[in-house]
Chains A and B, each alone.
Chain A
């Protein structure tokens, strides 16, 4: 079964204005009567809270099962539960099957009514000024990428809850089989990407350079293929340590020369596969085994190096940051990076939380990644020399930073002044990025 777009509701953003209901009623009945809207906002249990009743377009819909007349069906192409008014006998048994208040009697029309997603352009979403309603089309990724071949072997041995595997598999599927992968020491080869006992962990050529020479080896390979007249993508899957510490010299050189490659950095803020040592991308205050917490030390005492901004200073053909909690954004950037790597150096920096090294429950990885973005701890943007820097997911109303820090064991020890330091640093960072974005040339 394919994935489908959905109307998402963020209760915290809803102010109960009711514009969505007016817009729906107008679109569907021609009258502004909120009672006839297919989307209903109701009061929450607490003062000022709001809840939503709307058809969820269920994957396994009980309303359809309950229909004795065959008037309801799940549309395989659109995902919408279609209602056939000619077949409907107005028995209301569908409403017995729905626990969401998603299919109800329109007492004026004396017929049931339900959301049909307005054919992909929902009137309610367009009318929602506070942004509580969103039309999400992320399922498109699943549909498109699901058909592409997974170019990693099954059974990579990542830690429980690690989303680096997700990132690797998604990326290589999209980039395709005409690829040579360089995987310097780190979690990527650590979980088996380069293989064991003479067998590789990928279905494309892969090699295991040193931490120091990844970008220079990949430069040579790409040039040799080019000389032979073969079009390949030279792809590095590196960790933040390999990119920002001893690997930086060769990376900087390749970027300066404009080598045609895609350098993808999975930033988990340290050397996690070798026992969680700090790297220059480890943030201030974080516990690692080399920035321990005790009487003498309270975690790392320096701020993280901002690698992607350093790459902007190289005037690479394309530089972007991304997060595994925002895959649509990541995919858009992956496509652009891939294009840029055909004529220059493309650098993609993905913030990827580490369940083991950051010490948080395995099931919370995507939540942590999302909170990093929503608190502005990290920012999502892209850069080209022509267009400058552009924020792709600006967060104007960030969550309190504490919501992010509190989830992570590596920050459990933080003293108030350390939290203040981090808050200051985050604010500085955001201001700096916004300034860069403000002076950027308008998109051509």
Chain B
């Protein structure tokens, strides 16, 4: 094998879900051409999604790895760990790595993911705070857990809420501070979010919505957070979970078009014909709107990575990206919430809401022009993958519409059965 750390055919920057899906898609049709993966961490691949469970101790950091060395050897892949791309020359088809080495490539996939967004809160930079994006972050948090008395999580999105639950399970007092009127605004409406907040409150997690940190007074061990309403919260552990931003700084001057993310077409190709992007770093077609979006969720990273890999390898079976559909699953304190599709009902849409008075179960279905637009459930079973397909394929419910509203899981399977054949 030629020296794959200097010269390669396929260069993949990144080693998480989008990168691994692309690698797999490439190797399905091209087992021979040199392929090099650049992993930022000095580690085998892992998923950011598993990190809250590493914090709580439920997952062992050594067994959450998604591939082993044998996998890369078997697939003729050069896996370079502990380094990242610092600059890119599209004219010379070369990437410079953090260890100074220049790698020439024929085709490049940028799957460099995202890093935690740090809010501009006065005093934050001077305080000791945690984020949760890398295995190292998770290990550090886990070490801190036994001595933590009161953890404060800034941000009530998925990362923040997952972390809050797992910190609580680790034995700490936990407060979540969310700017929006309710938690998980990207996936659930106020009604659904209220049920989720209740479950957290019952488990002893304090949720403060519509709240904002004005400034932080650093201290050891306790920092003090001053909220905009004048109240103060004390924290001996501070976790920032206010979203992520795509890692694109190394593209400055490369000519790759970015705008809060790398802009890609429907086969994940950037404005440079030899460069693709996928996953949390890519801004791709929106399913519901016209402007491209970042859809930083694991299943979409897999989808985009696969499409990019197929396109890079020239797989004739590649089909264009159907557009980003917001979706997620969220398990919390023995409950499970699933959101597939858009929460924003367009004018003329039908919204069906079913919730039990005790507040344990919740189901909302949004139909638009006889098709599924979104479905949101708490402790209600339906197949998220099937619903995603029904939305993405714009399947007309037709005469099964009433049945669908009554029994979404069974009826979606019925509709999907026709599409399999």
Nearest CB in chain B: distance from A58 CB, A: 12
Task: Judge whether B140 is part of the interface by a CB distance below 8 angstroms.
Answer: no
A181 to B183, CA, bound (A): 76
Q: Indicate if the CB atoms of B384 and A45 lie closer than 8 Å.
A: no
Given A45-B414, A93-B299, does the pair A69, B64 have CB atoms closer than 8 Å? yes
Task: Judge whether A400 is part of the interface by a CB distance below 8 angstroms.
Answer: no
Task: Judge whether A413 is part of the interface by a CB distance below 8 angstroms.
Answer: no
- Identity of the chain A residue whose Cβ is nearest the Cβ of B305 in the assembled complex: A65
Residue A45 contacts which of B299, B327, B388, B400 (CB distance < 8 angstroms)?
Answer: B400
A148 to B295, CA, bound (A): 49
Q: Which residues of B contact A40 (CB under 8 A)?
A: 413
In the complex, chain A residues 28-66 whose Cβ is within 8 Å of any chain B Cβ: 40, 42-45, 51-53, 60, 62, 65-66
A65 to B306, CA, bound (A): 10
Q: Which residues of B contact A426 (CB under 8 A)?
A: none
Given A51-B413, A105-B336, does the pair A87, B63 have CB atoms closer than 8 Å? yes
Q: Which residues of A contact B384 (CB under 8 A)?
A: 92, 95-96
Q: Which residues of B contact A53 (CB under 8 A)?
A: 383, 413
User: Which candidate, B47-55, B130-138, B233-241, is the interface stretch facing chain A?
Assistant: B47-55
Q: Indicate if the CB atoms of A44 and B385 lie closer than 8 Å.
A: no
Q: Indicate if the CB atoms of A65 and B21 lie closer than 8 Å.
A: yes
A98 to B386, CA, bound (A): 7
Q: Indicate if the CB atoms of A69 and B47 lie closer than 8 Å.
A: yes
A97 to B328, CA, bound (A): 11
Nearest CB in chain A: distance from B199 CB, A: 14
Nearest CB in chain B: distance from A59 CB, A: 10
Q: Which residues of A contact B400 (CB under 8 A)?
A: 45
Q: Indicate if the CB atoms of A101 and B413 lie closer than 8 Å.
A: yes
Q: Indicate if the CB atoms of B327 and A96 lie closer than 8 Å.
A: yes
Q: Indicate if the CB atoms of B385 and A107 lie closer than 8 Å.
A: no
In the complex, chain A residues 367-409 whose Cβ is within 8 Å of any chain B Cβ: none
Residue B389 contacts which of A92, A99, A110 (CB distance < 8 angstroms)?
Answer: A99
Task: Judge whether A89 is part of the interface by a CB distance below 8 angstroms.
Answer: yes
A89 to B327, CA, bound (A): 18
Q: Which residues of A contact B386 (CB under 8 A)?
A: 98-101
Q: Indicate if the CB atoms of B49 and A93 lie closer than 8 Å.
A: yes
Max count, chain B CB within 10 A of own CB: residue among A44, A45, A90: A45
Given A66-B298, A95-B385, does the pair A44, B336 have CB atoms closer than 8 Å? no
Q: Indicate if the CB atoms of B49 and A68 lie closer than 8 Å.
A: yes
Q: Indicate if the CB atoms of A97 and B299 lie closer than 8 Å.
A: yes
The total of interchain contacts (Cβ-Cβ below 8 angstroms) comes to 116
Q: Which residues of A contact B418 (CB under 8 A)?
A: 45
A288 to B58, CA, bound (A): 73
Task: Judge whether A220 is part of the interface by a CB distance below 8 angstroms.
Answer: no
Task: Judge whether B28 is part of the interface by a CB distance below 8 angstroms.
Answer: yes
Interface string of A75-110 (1 = CB under 8 A from B): 000000000000101111101111111001101001
Max count, chain B CB within 10 A of own CB: residue among A40, A68, A100: A68
A92 to B388, CA, bound (A): 14
A42 to B334, CA, bound (A): 27
Task: Judge whether B59 is part of the interface by a CB distance below 8 angstroms.
Answer: yes
Nearest CB in chain A: distance from B114 CB, A: 15
Q: Indicate if the CB atoms of B383 and A101 lie closer than 8 Å.
A: yes
Given A92-B336, A93-B299, A97-B302, does the pair A51, B417 have CB atoms closer than 8 Å? yes
Residue A105 contacts which of B58, B65, B306, B381 (CB distance < 8 angstroms)?
Answer: B381
In the complex, chain B residues 368-421 whose Cβ is within 8 Å of any chain A Cβ: 379, 381, 383-386, 388-389, 400, 409-410, 413-418, 420
A44 to B416, CA, bound (A): 10
Query: What total of chain B residues lie within 8 Å of the partner, measured CB to CB?
Result: 46
Task: Judge whether B98 is part of the interface by a CB distance below 8 angstroms.
Answer: no
Query: What total of chain A residues lie within 8 Å of the partner, measured CB to CB?
Result: 32
A65 to B17, CA, bound (A): 7
Q: Indicate if the CB atoms of B414 and A42 lie closer than 8 Å.
A: yes
Task: Judge whether B331 is part of the interface by a CB distance below 8 angstroms.
Answer: yes
Q: Indicate if the CB atoms of A70 and B65 lie closer than 8 Å.
A: yes
- Identity of the chain B residue whose Cβ is nearest the Cβ of A98 in the assembled complex: B385
Q: Which residues of B contact A101 (CB under 8 A)?
A: 383, 385-386, 409, 413, 416
Task: Judge whether B39 is part of the interface by a CB distance below 8 angstroms.
Answer: no
Q: Indicate if the CB atoms of B329 and A91 lie closer than 8 Å.
A: yes
A100 to B58, CA, bound (A): 29
Nearest CB in chain A: distance from B157 CB, A: 15
In the complex, chain B residues 1-51 whose Cβ is within 8 Å of any chain A Cβ: 17, 20-21, 24, 28, 47-50
A107 to B379, CA, bound (A): 8
Given A70-B64, A107-B381, does the pair A91, B331 have CB atoms closer than 8 Å? yes
Nearest CB in chain A: distance from B249 CB, A: 26
Q: Indicate if the CB atoms of A43 and B383 lie closer than 8 Å.
A: no
A110 to B336, CA, bound (A): 9
Nearest CB in chain B: distance from A253 CB, A: 52
A70 to B20, CA, bound (A): 13
Nearest CB in chain B: distance from A83 CB, A: 14
Given A44-B414, A92-B336, does the pair A99, B53 have CB atoms closer than 8 Å? no
- Identity of the chain A residue whose Cβ is nearest the Cβ of B45 in the assembled complex: A70
- Identity of the chain A residue whose Cβ is nearest the Cβ of B338 in the assembled complex: A92
Q: Which residues of B contact A104 (CB under 8 A)?
A: 381, 383
Task: Judge whether B66 is part of the interface by a CB distance below 8 angstroms.
Answer: yes
Given A66-B298, A92-B329, does the pair A99, B28 have CB atoms closer than 8 Å? no
Interface string of B64-83 (1 = CB under 8 A from A): 11100000000000000000
A44 to B244, CA, bound (A): 43
Given A65-B21, A87-B59, A95-B329, does the pair A52, B417 have CB atoms closer than 8 Å? yes
Q: Which residues of A contact B389 (CB under 8 A)?
A: 99
A91 to B58, CA, bound (A): 13
Nearest CB in chain A: distance from B275 CB, A: 23
A95 to B49, CA, bound (A): 15
- Identity of the chain A residue whose Cβ is nearest the Cβ of B50 in the assembled complex: A68
A44 to B53, CA, bound (A): 40
A69 to B327, CA, bound (A): 19
A93 to B302, CA, bound (A): 11
Given A42-B414, A44-B414, A53-B413, does the pair A96, B299 have CB atoms closer than 8 Å? yes
Nearest CB in chain B: distance from A11 CB, A: 8
Q: Which residues of B contact A98 (CB under 8 A)?
A: 383, 385-386
Q: Which residues of A contact B334 (CB under 8 A)?
A: 110
A204 to B313, CA, bound (A): 40
In order of increasing CB-CB distance, the 5 nearest A-B pairs are A68-B47, A68-B49, A92-B329, A51-B417, A98-B385
18 contacts between A and B (CB under 8 A): A60-B24, A60-B28, A62-B302, A68-B49, A68-B50, A69-B53, A92-B336, A93-B299, A93-B329, A96-B299, A96-B327, A96-B385, A98-B383, A100-B385, A100-B416, A100-B420, A101-B383, A110-B334
B residues apposed to A, CB below 8 Å: 17, 20-21, 24, 28, 47-50, 53, 58-59, 63-66, 298-299, 302, 306, 327-329, 331, 334, 336, 338, 340, 379, 381, 383-386, 388-389, 400, 409-410, 413-418, 420
Given A66-B299, A95-B383, 18 more pairs with CB closer than 8 A? A45-B414, A51-B417, A66-B298, A68-B50, A69-B50, A69-B59, A69-B64, A70-B63, A70-B64, A90-B336, A91-B49, A92-B336, A96-B329, A99-B388, A101-B386, A101-B409, A101-B413, A105-B336
